[in-house]
C-alpha cells in the first residue's frame, strides 16, 4: 500500500510504477515475501488526484496500481468497492468476491 499526499510529480509516480512492475516481473517481491505481487493499492487526497494518478498508470499500461481516496477509506473501509483500476470508470473491490458472497 502506498500513501500519496499529492506531492509527487507525474514523472516521479510513473517511475515508481516502473519500479513496482520490475520488482514483480523479476520475481523479487515473491522471493522476498513468498507471495506474488498482484496489486499496489494507493490512497490519495482527492478524486481529482486519484484520476490524475489513474491516468499516469493507464499511460504506462500497468494494471498493478489501484487507487482510492482517504475519504473513501474513511467512509467505507478498504474492503468495499472503493478502488479504481487503471481502466475503471467505477470503483471496485480489490479482492474478488468469494463463491456465494453477495456484493
pLDDT per position as a tens digit, 41-53: 999 999 999 999 9
Q: What is the pLDDT of residues 24-80, one digit of tens each?
A: 889 888 888 888 878 999 999 999 999 999 999 999 888 899 999 999 999 999 999
CA separation for the pair 72, 68 (Å, rounded): 7
Cα end-to-end distance, the chain, whole Å? 23
CA separation for the pair 56, 14 (Å, rounded): 6
CA distances 92 to 10, 19, 54, Å, are 24, 25, 14
Q: How confident is the model at residue 101 (pLDDT cuts 50, 70, 90)?
A: low
CA distances 31 to 22, 28, 36, 51, 62, Å, are 13, 5, 9, 32, 21
> Tell me, what's the pLDDT at 100?
60
Amino acid at each position: 500500500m502506498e500513501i500519496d499526499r499529492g506531492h509527487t510529480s507525474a514523472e516521479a509516480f510513473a517511475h515508481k510504477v516502473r519500479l513496482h512492475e520490475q520488482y514483480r516481473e523479476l520475481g523479487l517481491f515473491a522471493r522476498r515475501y513468498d507471495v506474488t505481487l498482484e496489486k499496489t493499492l494507493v490512497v490519495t487526497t482527492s478524486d481529482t488526484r486519484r484520476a490524475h494518478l489513474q491516468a499516469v498508470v493507464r499511460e504506462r499500461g500497468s494494471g498493478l496500481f489501484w487507487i482510492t481516496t482517504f475519504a473513501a477509506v474513511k467512509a467505507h473501509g478498504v474492503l468495499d468497492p472503493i478502488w479504481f483500476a487503471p481502466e475503471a470508470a467505477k470503483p471496485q473491490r480489490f479482492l474478488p468476491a468469494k463463491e456465494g458472497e453477495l456484493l
